[in-house]
A = this chain, B = another copy of it.
Amino acid sequence: MTDFRGADLLQQYIEKCTNWGRWGEDDQLGTLNFIGPEQVRAAAGLVEHGLTVSVSLPFNQSGPQTGSLRANPRNMMTATGADHLAGAQDILPAGFGPAKGYGRSDDILIVPNQAGTQWDSLSHIFWKGKMYNGRSAGLVSSAGAARNGIENYAGKLVMRGVFLDVAKHLGVPALEPGYAISADELEATAEAQGVEIRRGDALLIRTGFLEARRSAWGDYAGGASPGVSLHTAPWVHEKEIAAIASDTWGVEVRPNEIDCFQPFHVVALVHMGLAIGEIFDFAALAAACAEHDKYEFLFAAPVLPITGASGSPVGGIAVL
């Protein structure tokens, strides 16, 4: 494989930040191990206003995907109220007999797991033949991920959420494509918002980019984008962050800062085992946090335990 500029740096970050073996050779949770009972209790204790805010984009054909890599979610009706009115449901399916006034709708969703608001699994990215915890990429076949699949996150992802509204802090509607957010800026944002970053946190990082592109996605999915700098990786590692979710396609800045595709993923997902969330919609959360001047909350964003999957679509909720 070709060498590249920055290869040395990348290797240094990998060595500095790796969690392979940290929680045992069987571990498939990665940094979610930072969230223990104490963290969960503390997160629940943050609920003050009883206010619930969705951070998920609707799942439909109007999403950001262009079809070149992934398509938008498509929900197909297999039974409708129009059928019911037209008499096509007078006999129920599957031998259930005459309907006698009863009607139903039903549907099938086709969703690329990475198409909308989603968590990556620890089987989503490989580096030189390996995935998180040193496992072979060959464990991820057409039958799915035999290890590190998203089902390992079942029952997790209820935790303390810290909202870092970087766009607001920098006084812009949205960061520009190519803007790399530094660790110093994340710290400064937290400080300005009066919130402390702690072990086991989910950092929800708003660039404003989703809102800027919502009515005309353009190259939102895969093109130039603001995002966290590769150089935040050691800080994320030191802070023992459990999860980072952002309002961009890939969390990290693009174009990438070194000659490697998505190097933050290589360090953080493959080697740290960080839970990474993408295409979150923070518009309503930004308004709620500003209104209540409250940037920490209970964050509930459980995955669908899809066996062997590379990720899961998610309906995430902040409870202020």
With both beta carbons as reference points, the residue of chain B lying nearest to A56 in the complex is identified as B305
User: Is the C-beta of A155 less than 8 angstroms from some C-beta in chain B?
Assistant: yes
Partner of A4, one of B51, B83, B100, B301: B100
Give residues 53-107 of A contacting B (CB, 8 Å): 53-54, 56-61, 66-89, 92-94, 96-107
User: Is the C-beta of A229 less than 8 angstroms from some C-beta in chain B?
Assistant: no
Q: How large is the interface on A (under 10, 10 to 19, 20 to 34, 35 or more residues)?
A: 35 or more
Q: Is the CB of B84 within 8 A of A126?
A: yes
Q: Which residues on B sit within 8 Å (CB–CB) of A303?
A: 315
User: Is the C-beta of A12 less than 8 angstroms from some C-beta in chain B?
Assistant: no
Q: Is the CB of A141 within 8 A of B58?
A: no
Q: Is the CB of A106 within 8 A of B70?
A: yes
Q: Which residues on B sit within 8 Å (CB–CB) of A314?
A: 304, 315
With both beta carbons as reference points, the residue of chain B lying nearest to A70 in the complex is identified as B106
**15 contacts across the A-B interface (CB closer than 8 A):** A58-B154, A71-B71, A77-B77, A79-B142, A80-B141, A82-B138, A99-B261, A101-B127, A102-B266, A103-B137, A105-B125, A106-B124, A109-B112, A300-B302, A302-B316
